[in-house]
Amino acid sequence: MSPTKPLPADFEWGFATAAYQVEGAVEEDGRGKSIWDTFCHLEPTRTKGANGDIACDHYHRYEEDFDLLTKYGAKAYRFSLSWSRIIPLGGRDDPINEAGIAFYNRLIDSLLRRGITPWVTLYHWDLPQALHDRYGGWLNVEESQKDFERYARVCYERFGDRVRDWITLNEPWIVSVFGYATGGNAPGRSSINEAATEGDTSTEPWIVGKALIMSHARAVEAYNKDFRPSQKGRIGVSLNGDYYEPWDSDDQLDKDAAQRRMEFHIGWFAEPMLVFSSLGEDYPRCMRDQLGDRLPQFSEQELALLRSAKEIDFYGMNYYTSQYARHKTGSPSKTDYIGHVETFQENKQGVSIGEPSGVHWLRSTPQCFRKHLARVYHRYKKPIYITENGCPCPGEDKMTREESVQDAYRVKYFQDHLDAISQAVYEDSAVISGYFAWSLMDNLEWSDGYGVRFGVTHMDYETLERTPKRSALALKQMFEARMKASRNTGS
């Protein structure tokens, strides 16, 4: 058995969820509709018949769920706020729903009583439907950022006396691409998806991306200017992105393709949010070269706002897997959104990137995780918090509860990925300060419905009974051992 690899003694860890995936109670206490309420009820279904009407009923059972957090030894809990539960119509001149405020106050206070640090995500994909109907939602760059700033300010005002850790956006790449390029997520707009009735894949994701970047900037500037001095909290953003290896490691074009794929995945948002080169560039050069005028420009006023908002406290990383990238010849199509590359799970020699999991797109790739952590840290120079990491076990969607809770694959996945963090910290000099496992419990996995199970707690969706899986307490033991190793070595 290999020795336990240490983690910093002050390393923060816990579990994560998102409002629409767990809360339910979609029509209770004044909550307004979100785009996911609408998307999940489309006919024919585009979510395998699933919806978040009840989900895990966390709205009524949060104390029971927080008992699990205590049992699992969690030091922190990352959750998102439902914008339409707080401002049902979403807009800056629309009324606040005090019942929604009260619900989140109860959540925050319950966590604090247990000694668990609340980490709050302002936006985890559930735009108020009223804003989409009113002006196109994220497709209206000017209006959406102003409404998001007002929503953020309400949250800081009402919860910031107790919440010290804020995340502006969760995975803006997914919002932009799956919502407005492929149409697989709400609001389901696409010109390449036969199920979609509206959308333009060649332009809309880039417009939405700018709206999200500017909304993040406004939320950060508002916090830094008007709330940080008194509340003394931290603010950051959670970006997803796979790590890409070249399909042919001897081909420079494939090496370039791997880097370009990561720029289209991560750099699209991280560069304007965190970096401004001496050349005055905003987006990665490869994006501007390929997309031209379809990639929206930033005005001088917008650039000034982005510069003032780049002083965030951490980089939230959502990481699940890695892939191989191979270059393509010819000219990219107007609907290409990944940088004119092909992606694979096996390389030229037929070697798999990692061990298959319980969902087709995810293979366990801890060796690439380490590279990813080092690359992101040394590029963006922000402490990294892994704000999502996890997996479903092979075949878990067809397992009984008794089988599901014996989740050896997930235990090994966590073990290997925590080892990768330790290596990145102590061998690659990356600053990594925390980790949130996805997820506290099985939940609505968006367009994948309820079949895919990422939780460390088994959820019976008929009875809503929660049953801890082996991985939940295994994680507690892993962290305790790693922090003890750190103290013993004086790290």
Query: Using one digit for the tens of pLDDT, what is the confidence trace for 383-416?
Result: 999 999 999 999 999 999 999 999 999 999 999 9
Q: Return the residue matching tokens 């796979």.
A: 242
pLDDT at site 4: 84
CB 180 within 8 A of CB 199: yes
Report how far apart the first and last C-alpha atoms of the chain are (Å, whole number): 22
Q: What is the pLDDT of residues 185-222, one digit of tens each?
A: 999 999 999 999 999 999 999 999 999 999 999 999 99
User: Is 388 known to be catalytic?
Assistant: yes
83 falls within a domain: yes
- Please count the residues of the chain: 491
pLDDT at site 294: 97
pLDDT at site 279: 56
Q: What is the pLDDT of residues 428-483, one digit of tens each?
A: 999 999 999 999 999 999 999 999 999 999 999 999 999 999 999 999 999 999 98
5 falls within a domain: no
132 falls within a domain: yes
Tokens of 158: 């009402």
197 falls within a domain: yes
330 falls within a domain: yes
Q: CATH code at 288? A: 3.20.20.80
- Is the pLDDT at 351 greater than 90? The verdict is yes
pLDDT at site 188: 98
Q: What is the pLDDT of residues 296-315, one digit of tens each?
A: 999 999 999 999 999 899 99
pLDDT at site 1: 43
- Is the pLDDT at 491 greater than 60? The verdict is no
Catalytic residue among 171, 271, 302, 396: 171
SS3 175: helix
- Is the pLDDT at 488 greater than 90? The verdict is no
User: Is 98 known to be catalytic?
Assistant: no
CB 265 within 8 A of CB 284: no
Single-letter amino acid code for the residue at 424 = A
- Is the pLDDT at 228 greater than 50? The verdict is yes
Q: What's the domain count of the chain?
A: 1
Q: What is the pLDDT of residues 5-52, one digit of tens each?
A: 899 989 999 999 999 999 999 999 999 999 999 999 999 999 999 999
Helix, strand, coil % over all residues of the chain, rounded to 5: 45, 15, 40
Q: What is the pLDDT of residues 263-286, one digit of tens each?
A: 999 999 999 999 875 456 799 999
Pairs from 45-52 (Cβ < 8 Å, separation ≥ 24): 46/184, 46/188, 46/195, 46/447, 47/446, 47/447, 47/448, 47/449, 48/447, 48/448, 48/449, 48/450, 48/451, 49/449, 50/444, 50/449, 50/450, 51/444, 52/20, 52/21, 52/23, 52/24, 52/26, 52/444
116-145 mean pLDDT: 98
pLDDT at site 2: 59
Tokens of 20: 């629409």
293 falls within a domain: yes
Of the candidate ranges 91-95, 110-114, 275-279, 418-422, the one whose mean pLDDT is the lowest: 275-279
60-66 mean pLDDT: 98
Closest CA to 242 of 332, 333, 339, 169: 339
Residue 284 domain boundaries: 12-489
pLDDT at site 486: 80
Mean pLDDT of the chain: 96
Cα gap 225→185, rounded to integer Å? 34
pLDDT at site 224: 98
Of the candidate ranges 127-131, 178-182, 259-263, 273-277, the one whose mean pLDDT is the lowest: 273-277
6 falls within a domain: no
Catalytic residue among 149, 204, 388, 396: 388
